[in-house]
Amino acid sequence: MLLLTFLFEAVLISLSGVLAPGPITAVTVEKGNKSPHAGALVAIGHGIVELPLIISIFYGFGYLLKLNYVKEVIAFVGGLFLLFMGISMFRSIKQIDVNSKKSTHLPIIDGILLSLGNPYFLIWWATVGATLIFRSISFGMLGFLFFMLFHWLCDFFWCYFLSILTSLFLSFLNQSAIFCAISGLSVALKISHSLHLSPQTAIIFLSYFISTSSYFLIL
């Protein structure tokens, strides 16, 4: 019963990150225009990066991600990647044929690249995720495996749901998704201001917004 209670709590906490608008959400919506099953592949690509990271934290490498200078490097490099990607996409918007079925990357590759380049993904696992992993260990290997599976299933079903919904209701989702991304940015900036975070963090927020909104603008 205690394990079930923990898994339920872990799912709720995981969903708080999974449901937040971001590059993975954006590319899932964009790929959903081409295939309702694209979200499943994006989630698999995300999992290819995420599962080894979870296992690494489990075996003791999590302390490295908690070091301040390591988190700063991750945030800076990842932010630059997202910023470069977003600017590149903005510059190529006019050259994109929205009716084209061709894509620069396969959904699974997008899932891998966006996970590697998203500083919030690594920072989330260095803080919230690591705490959940350490709590899961108290239930033994079974608890850890169930946590890892349940967390990834949250990603999988959400991405799959998004791509199917996009495939069915693209014209509606296009406007709503942009509104959601802008609202998310507004909330993030308010939180950043209220917590007096560093200018570097503001830059990361900007790159996060550019890379996210640029996906929506090419739909």
* Calpha distance 199→204 (Å, rounded): 9
The model carries a pTM of 0.65
Q: Mind listing the pLDDT tens digit for each residue in 135-188?
A: 888 888 899 999 999 999 999 998 998 888 888 876 555 545 544 554 555 455
C-alpha distances out from residue 46 to 30, 69, 88, 137, Å = 16, 25, 22, 23
The pLDDT value given to residue 42: 94
Query: Which residues of the chain fall below pLDDT 70?
Result: 16-17, 20-21, 61-66, 70-104, 170-219
Structure tokens at 142: 């079974």
Q: Are 164 and 47 in contact (CB under 8 A)?
A: no
145-171: string of b/e by CB count within 10 Å (b at 16+)? ebbbebbbebbbebbbebbbbbbeeee
The pLDDT value given to residue 207: 52
